[in-house]
Structure 1
Amino acid sequence: MKIDFGELVQHCLDLIRQSPYSWYIAAGVFVGAWGVRSWLKQVTSGPAEYIKWYQHVPMILVPRMDTWTLLVHGKYIDELSRAPEDQLSFVDAANNIFQRRYNFGQWAVEDHFHHETIKKQLTRNLSALFPEVLDEAQEAISSQVRLNANESTVVTAFPFIQRIVARSVNRVFVGLPLCRDERWLDIVQGTAMDTVKVATLVNMFPDFLRP
């Protein structure tokens, strides 16, 4: 059976026009198509395209599938680090990138208790916590890769690193023995991956099309 692509497109357009939500559908299709176009342009152009622009402008916007990334020349790092919170906010950026409102609820946007905990209690005790993190990382590697002398093996890098990071971080947050519990680690890693998936999907749509 031969399918006429033009007729198929026209049929889809007719269905959209007849729908009471035609405007929303059209906007969603446009936003999705624009996101794919921007992502493909980034993939095909590569970093050389953006490096070339550094010769003309100090800041450039790089398109991604879900949002835009602002690249700033290295000579402005000190200036950016001194910018006040009301001009360059790490909290606001994290809220937008990870879409905390949709992933965790409005409380995560309004209550910043965990930021203060990380900046104060955790940061001040990093040197004391480092031996435990190192011990857990070594144990995680040895438990996943068991080799005798002169042996080699192949591992899938991404899930391998995920497990090591999950165990090392949770050694600090929840301690032994929970940081080595496989069910707990599955929940932690699954939550992290789901957060990224939801944020990527939500960021593909403008604010007025989000729930």
Structure 2
Amino acid sequence: MAGVLQKVQEIWPIDGYIVFIAAAIALYIPVYHRSEARKLQHIPAAGSGYAWMFYFDAVRYLVSGAKFLETGFSQAHSQIARVPSLFAGWVVVLRSREIIEEWRKGTDELFSLDNVHDSLQTEYTMSERIITNPYHIPIIRSQLQKALPQLIAPVYEEIDLSLKASIVDSPGEWTGIDPRELFVKAIAQASNRMLVGLPLCRNEEFLGVAINYTFDVVKMSTILRLFPKSVRPLVNRLLPTIENSVAKGMKYLGPMIKERKAQFEHQEGNVPDDFLQWMLEDATEEEDQDDRELGVRVLTLNFVSVHTTSTTICQATIDLAAYPQYQDELRAEAEAVVKEHGWTKEGLDKMIKIDSFIKESQRLHPVSTTLQDRLVTRDYTFKNGVTLPKGTNIALDIEHGNRQYTDPATFDPWRFYNIQRETDKPSSMTTLAPEFLSFGHGRHACPGRFFAAYEAKIALAWLLLKYDLKLKSGTRVPDILFGPTRLPNPKNKVLLRRRT
């Protein structure tokens, strides 16, 4: 046996025991999916719908994304379809406005958030306390929301410093950038100005740890979900990826947390006004006051904020370069607003065209094609007569909602600007609607979307005021689809030329 495991380790660079366990449960999984398929056979399926074809169809979904999902809806002309996921089994996707509104009105007891935590394997990749006591959510909705007017200038300062340091250009010449790397660094620095303040938000090593923590969470949650729940603790111990990542983060966060606690206890000096401080003040239960628990929560907030926001800005930057004819009008808005209001919340709220441009980019290039994983806790029948059995995984179809606008395939930067003017109703990035789900919908919509929207507007306005943009290829290369995930294509090379 030892020789076999050694050979496996030589061929495949992961622990041989993991491979052995995976092989041992390979007989279990087809039986499970056959049982699940029988319970959901009344719902149209993307792909064949047969249990014995589950893995083949799941791989097709993995490499084709939304295109594969669409087959389930188009074949039966249905508003509910199921799609095979390698990591979540059968997922039932909801798409019509009426069904999504019915879902929104459902209680947490009916449509449970447990599926979100299972997807992320929160217990192992973050902390069980984030599940049992998510006290950071009320902080985002309260303290962060109230602090936004005071945060805009510091956030601008960090984005400005980061982008200036990262972009090396020559006067009059076009310079290539990788918007993916550029904005991950800038948003990590800006977000951590809000999370932990100066000087840690500018520490390159800490920012690297915070950025990489996201990849470690995705990697470990993916691996863990390949195994039955009973063996996940063992797998987690055999692959200490998260523990190593947290240890690297605590090298920087640990001393700061101890210093803050001492300062808070003795009421010494000026009390910092950042998220870490708000958590220290609101973490009333002893378990949540643990240094590691506080540090993990800071890393978790990096996980949920940095990559989604930076990807949104990256896509908008590619669109800005792909449609240079809109740059002058957007730039004029930014110039007028900054001249009158400076980099303030009041000023950013007046960047309505830039907001519309970013939202249109989100519409055509959402970070994910489905959203809001939930678990049905008891048999439930929708008003259209379709019944979801207890234990069903459900998600919402973002792509379908994004196609419910006039001329949906066309990039119209003023789409939401015009909707707002014509209807006199809010239609900004942060406005929630069943046909626009990039920030979610209902009471569990992203509470940090207002902060994220301000970061995005600052970054795009900064670029417009300093540079002309164009695509090296001249036209936009389609995104990369990977299951429900949509990624910016690295072939979209953006060129900048400093304005004089």
TM-score normalized with structure 2 length: 0.34
Q: Give the corresponding residue for 2:106.
A: 83
Q: Give the corresponding residue for 1:102.
A: 124
1:185 aligns with 2:207: yes
Q: CA RMSD in A?
A: 3.1
Distance 1:135 1:24, change over 3 A: closer
Decide whether the 8 Å contact of 1:136 with 1:171 is kept in 2: yes
Q: Give the corresponding residue for 1:27.
A: 25
Q: 1:48 aligns with which of 67, 83, 87?
A: 67
The whole-number CA distance in structure 1 between the counterparts of 2:115 and 2:153 is 32
Give 1:101 shift: 0.7
Question: Once the two structures are superposed, what CA deviation does each residue of 1:25-83 show, in whole Å capped at 9, x if it has no partner?
Answer: 33147759x88634421145553332243343322333344225543214133333322
Q: 2:226 aligns with which of 166, 180, 204?
A: 204
Decide whether the 8 Å contact of 1:170 with 1:179 is kept in 2: yes
Report SS of the residue matched to 1:125. helix
Distance 1:146 1:51, change over 3 A: same
Amino acid of the residue matched to residue 37 of structure 1? F
The whole-number CA distance in structure 1 between the counterparts of 2:64 and 2:208 is 37
Q: 1:120 aligns with which of 123, 133, 142?
A: 142
Give 1:136 shift: 2.0
Q: Give the corresponding residue for 1:137.
A: 159
1:111 aligns with 2:109: no
Provide the aligned length of Structure 1 versus Structure 2.
Answer: 189
Distance 1:204 1:147, change over 3 A: same
Distance 1:62 1:119, change over 3 A: farther
Distance 1:49 1:196, change over 3 A: closer
1:62 aligns with 2:83: yes
Distance 1:182 1:121, change over 3 A: same
Report the structure, 1 or 2, having the larger strand content.
2
Gaps of 5+ in 2: 1-19, 31-52, 234-500
Report the structure, 1 or 2, having the larger helix content.
1
* Percent of aligned positions that are identical: 22
Distance 1:197 1:45, change over 3 A: closer
The whole-number CA distance in structure 2 between the counterparts of 1:35 and 1:136 is 47
Decide whether the 8 Å contact of 1:100 with 1:109 is kept in 2: yes
1:168 aligns with 2:177: no
Report SS of the residue matched to 1:122. helix
The whole-number CA distance in structure 2 between the counterparts of 1:189 and 1:52 is 36
Report SS of the residue matched to 1:118. helix
Distance 1:196 1:43, change over 3 A: closer
The whole-number CA distance in structure 2 between the counterparts of 1:36 and 1:43 is 10
Decide whether the 8 Å contact of 1:166 with 1:189 is kept in 2: yes
Decide whether the 8 Å contact of 2:119 with 2:225 is kept in 1: yes
Greater shift, 93-102 or 153-162, is seen at 153-162
Amino acid of the residue matched to residue 25 of structure 1? A
Decide whether the 8 Å contact of 1:166 with 1:185 is kept in 2: yes
Q: Give the corresponding residue for 2:356.
A: none
Gaps of 5+ in 1: 1-21
Question: Once the two structures are superposed, what CA deviation does each residue of 1:117-157 show, in whole Å capped at 9, x if it has no partner?
Answer: 22322234334423332332232222111213323333334
